[in-house]
């Protein structure tokens, strides 16, 4: 076991897969000589060469389209979109092509590509560097959408994503890259792409979250336990599509209350889908309203700090919502 942050864990997962499988390659803007804008791929081109760690033009549709072509010819490309905000030009390639190959070929063609994309609000990121795009892709059968928050999970799940025979969108919250650290196993291990993680057991309410808001919710769960005696069960989906319904529903049936938190706009969000599942399948176990907390329906976080703070579910907002639901 070695302590690593999220960025280091993803780097190590990529490197280990490339060492064990010659068909694994990395491609994207500045991933080679520069090591990526966040330095996740730093050192990989020196070890594996420019044909397996390939710098591409600034063209997201080309990056994903080329990855699809490589994948159906025996490679397992990991395509990096430098910021999730810039993924729309590749939307057609991801949704209309990669996600549908297996279905439209009646199982004859697999597309084993992994698409990495940093997402989430970051100070100074403003309109084009702070978006949460997961909801656009969680309505796409044939595509898995993964968003691990903690380093050990991220290392294991990048391996699982690369080994998956069909496309995986791998989302990485950029503010957690260096913030979150934990001991990560040095040996080879995987985490299934379909299983949620219960980070904290509780009896009074369930919080379901991912990304930076999960990290905040875990800290607040301990705080209100110490101060109020309220025990919060905290569940991380890890895979946003398809969701692990069983783990979420088991938790809600135990606590009777659920709060779903994310940075994404509330309308049409993953949080809304989770709320719908709970309302439909666990209604008789509920002791309070199904609650959601997320960003207001404005285009993105602004550059100005007061406006950015308004956009993001703050620790104060999260704690207030947790206490309101627990006391309902």
Residues 76-112 pLDDT 10s: 999 999 999 999 999 999 999 999 999 999 999 999 9
pLDDT in tens, 202-216: 999 999 999 999 999
pLDDT at 187 over 90: no
Residue 107's Cβ-count burial label (10 Å; 0-12, 13-18, 19+) is: exposed
Question: Comparing 70 with 124, which gets the higher pLDDT?
Answer: 70
Checking DSSP bridges between strand 76-80 and strand 258-265, what pairing results, if any?
A: unpaired
The whole-number pLDDT of residue 214 equals 98
DSSP H or E stretch at residue 91: helix 91-91
Average pLDDT in the 122-146 region? 94
3-state secondary structure of 232: strand
CB 136 within 8 A of CB 147: no
The architecture that CATH gives domain 197-326 is 3-Layer(aba) Sandwich (3.40)
Res. 201 pLDDT band, cuts 50 70 90:
very high
**For range 295-322, the mean pLDDT:** 93
Given this model, what pLDDT does residue 190 score? Answer: 82
Q: How large is the greatest C-alpha to C-alpha distance in the chain, in angstroms? A: 59
Residue with tokens 């391996």: 159
Q: Is the pLDDT of residue 123 over 90?
A: no
Structure confidence at residue 148 (pLDDT): 97
Domain pair 2-184 / 197-326, same fold: yes
Query: For the whole model, what pTM was predicted?
Result: 0.96
pLDDT above 90 (res 178): yes
Report whether pLDDT(189) > 90. no
CATH number, domain 2-184:
3.40.50.970
Element containing residue 323 per DSSP (H, E): helix 315-326
41-55, 176-190, 200-214: least confident range: 176-190
Q: Are strands 24-28 and 76-80 parallel, antiparallel or unpaired?
A: parallel
Higher per-residue confidence, 6 vs 189: 6
Q: What is the pLDDT, as a whole number, of residue 184?
A: 96
pLDDT attached to residue 114 = 98
pLDDT at 180: 96
Each domain of the chain, given as residue ranges in start order, spans: 2-184, 197-326
pLDDT at 241 over 90: yes
> Is 129 labeled as catalytic in the residue annotation?
yes
Report the pLDDT value the prediction gives residue 63, as an integer from 0 to 100: 98
pLDDT of residue 110: 96
Q: Which residue is catalytic, options 129, 173, 199, 280?
A: 129
């Amino acid at each position: 076991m070695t302590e690593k942050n999220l960025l280091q864990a993803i780097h190590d997962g990529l490197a280990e897969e490339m060492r064990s499988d010659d068909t694994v390659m990395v491609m994207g803007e500045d991933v080679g000589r520069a090591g990526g804008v966040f330095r996740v791929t730093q050192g990989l081109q020196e070890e594996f060469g420019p044909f397996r760690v390939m710098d591409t033009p600034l063209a997201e549709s080309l990056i994903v389209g080329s990855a699809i072509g490589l994948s159906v010819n025996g490679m397992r490309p990991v395509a990096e979109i430098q910021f999730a905000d810039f993924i729309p030009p590749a939307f057609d390639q991801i949704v209309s092509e990669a996600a549908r190959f297996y279905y439209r070929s009646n199982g004859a063609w697999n597309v084993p590509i992994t698409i990495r994309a940093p997402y989430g609000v970051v100070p100074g990121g403003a309109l084009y560097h702070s978006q949460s795009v997961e909801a656009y892709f969680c309505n796409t059968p044939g595509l898995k959408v993964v968003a691990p928050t903690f380093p050990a999970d991220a290392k294991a799940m990048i391996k699982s994503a690369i080994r998956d025979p069909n496309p995986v969108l791998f989302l990485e919250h950029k503010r957690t890259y260096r913030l979150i650290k934990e001991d990560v196993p040095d040996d080879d291990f995987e985490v299934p792409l379909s299983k949620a993680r219960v980070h904290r057991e509780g009896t009074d309410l369930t919080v379901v979250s991912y990304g930076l808001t999960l990290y905040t919710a875990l800290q607040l769960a301990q705080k209100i336990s110490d101060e109020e005696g309220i025990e919060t069960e905290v569940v991380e989906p890890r895979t946003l599509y398809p969701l692990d319904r069983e783990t979420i529903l088991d938790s809600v049936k135990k606590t009777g209350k659920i709060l779903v938190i994310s940075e994404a706009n509330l309308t049409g969000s993953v949080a809304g889908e989770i709320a719908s599942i709970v309302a439909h399948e666990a209604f008789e176990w509920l002791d309070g309203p199904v609650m959601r907390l997320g960003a207001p329906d404005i285009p993105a976080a602004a550059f100005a700090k007061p406006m950015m703070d308004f956009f993001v579910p703050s620790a104060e907002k999260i704690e207030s919502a947790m206490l309101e639901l627990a006391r309902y």
